Amino acid sequence: MTPEQFIAGLPKAELHMHIEGSIEPALMLALARRNGVAIRWQTEAELRDAYRFTRLQDFLDLYYDGCRVLLQVADFHEVTRDYLRRAHADGVRHAEMFLGPQGHTMRGVPLAVVMQGVLSAMEAAEAEDGITSGLILVAQRHRSEEEAMALLAEAEPWYGRILGFGLGGAELGHPPSKFERFFARCRELGFKVTAHAGEEGPAAYVREAVELLQVDRLDHGNACLEDAALVKELSLRRIPLTVCPLSNLKLQVVTDMAVHPLKQLMDAGLCVTVNSDDPSYFGGYVNDNYLACQQALGLTQAELAQLARQSFEAAFMTEAQRAQAL
Ligand code: ADE
Ligand code: ZN
């Protein structure tokens, strides 16, 4: 059995992907045309060629710009349905997806349009393919805490359909401490909470996410390795890390997959998972991420299976949902 076949056959949960980061170039061009939105690129090749980044902000500029093609319920439905179809084909049984409503509402797209499109696609994917999914709304960290609070209030009609809240966007200069009250309120309301931390930012940001925001999961978290006491705490408390290897390579968080910290994080006893982050921008869906790590780090079948098992442990699922997914 080839590593590709072994990885494809593993039942997986994907816990760190952004719906807006899964617009394939062909869909981006089709939506731009359909909605009469002018974009800088004419062909899929031109778009792919533009996806060269030296740091997170380069990517975010392009990513927010790409969001402009999403205007109608059908657009949000299509991008979400496409991702869930690809995930299902990769052996993903359960996906927890990030959605950044501020990137849409600030452009004048009503939250109801966004939610209707995304939620209807989640329902269709479960009915047609049996893949279950959950939604995590992320606040943009370059915006104020008041704006995050406004997002929380605006989302109230959909509280029953939302799994949790998270924090994404430009990390450096926007520490988790900026959102302490927002996270406290989300937790009070009974939501699960996650935060991007330790992607470009330092271990101190990871510590803040754990201690001040009291996150249930860390998105990325790579930088925790700079703080041995923190690693020990994450390991003892079994706080999961949703690691995104190809994203780290494309955003130059690591210089080469051969020096990616995934194996170190595993060897430190952490509950690590492998995820695609923004698959259409970073050149790979979840199985591509598993494979890149297997090839560069020499992961064994047992280690690949451990990563897949941990993805279910880290998922915000009940035991009954977990049993059903496996
Ligand atoms: N939003 C989408 N992808 C992201 C990433 N890799 N880091 C922070 N925010 C993001
Ligand atoms: Zn992310």
| 174 assigned to a ligand binding site | no
Residue predicted with more confidence, 270 or 320: 270
Q: Is the pLDDT of residue 189 over 90?
A: yes
Q: Determine the distance separating the centroid of ligand 2 and the alpha carbon of 65, expressed in angstroms.
A: 17
Q: Determine the distance separating the centroid of ligand 1 and the alpha carbon of 169, expressed in angstroms.
A: 5
In three-state form (DSSP H/G/I as H, E/B as E, the rest C), the secondary structure along the chain is CCHHHHHHHCCEEEEEEEHHHHCCHHHHHHHHHHHCCCCCCCCHHHHHHHCCCCCHHHHHHHHHHHHHHCCCHHHHHHHHHHHHHHHHHCCEEEEEEEECCHHHHCCCCCHHHHHHHHHHHHHHHHHHHCCEEEEEEEEECCCCHHHHHHHHHHCHHHHHHCCEEEEECCCCCCCHHHHHHHHHHHHHCCCEEEEEECCCCCHHHHHHHHHCCCCCEEEECHHHHHCHHHHHHHHHHCCCEEECHHHHHHCCCCCCHHHCCHHHHHHCCCCEEECCECHHHHCCCHHHHHHHHHHHHCCCHHHHHHHHHHHHHHCCCCHHHHHHHC
Q: How far is CA 77 from CA 114, 237, 241, in A?
A: 8, 37, 28
Establish whether residue 143 lines the binding site of ligand 1, counting it when its CB lies within 6 angstroms of any ligand atom: no
What pTM value is reported for the model?
0.98
- For ligand 1, atom 9, the nearest C-alpha belongs to 169
pLDDT in tens, 144-162: 999 999 999 999 999 999 9
- Please state the rounded mean pLDDT for residues 252-259: 97
Confidence tier at 301 by pLDDT (50, 70, 90): very high
Angle at 221 between CA 215 and CA 222, to 5 degrees: 170
Establish whether residue 91 lines the binding site of ligand 1, counting it when its CB lies within 6 angstroms of any ligand atom: no
Task: Give the model's pLDDT for residue 254.
Answer: 97
Q: Is the pLDDT of residue 170 over 90?
A: yes
pLDDT in tens, 57-105: 999 999 999 999 999 999 999 999 999 999 999 999 999 999 999 999 9
Ligand 1 atom, smallest distance to 21 CA = 2
Q: Which of 199, 200, 226, 303 is catalytic?
A: 199
Residue 43 makes CB contacts below 8 A (sequence gap 6+) with 29
Please count the structural domains in the chain. 1
Q: Is the pLDDT of residue 9 over 90?
A: yes
| 196 assigned to a ligand binding site | yes
pLDDT in tens, 11-28: 999 999 999 999 999 999
| 16 assigned to a ligand binding site | yes
Confidence tier at 326 by pLDDT (50, 70, 90): confident
Q: Determine the distance separating the centroid of ligand 1 and the alpha carbon of 294, expressed in angstroms.
A: 24
The reply to whether 199 belongs to the active site is yes
- Please count the CA atoms within 13 angstroms of the CA of 123 that sit on its side-chain side: 8
We report the CATH number of the domain holding residue 150 as 3.20.20.140
Q: Which domain holds residue 160?
A: 3-325
Question: Mean pLDDT score of the chain, rounded to an integer?
Answer: 97
- For ligand 1, atom 10, the nearest C-alpha belongs to 169
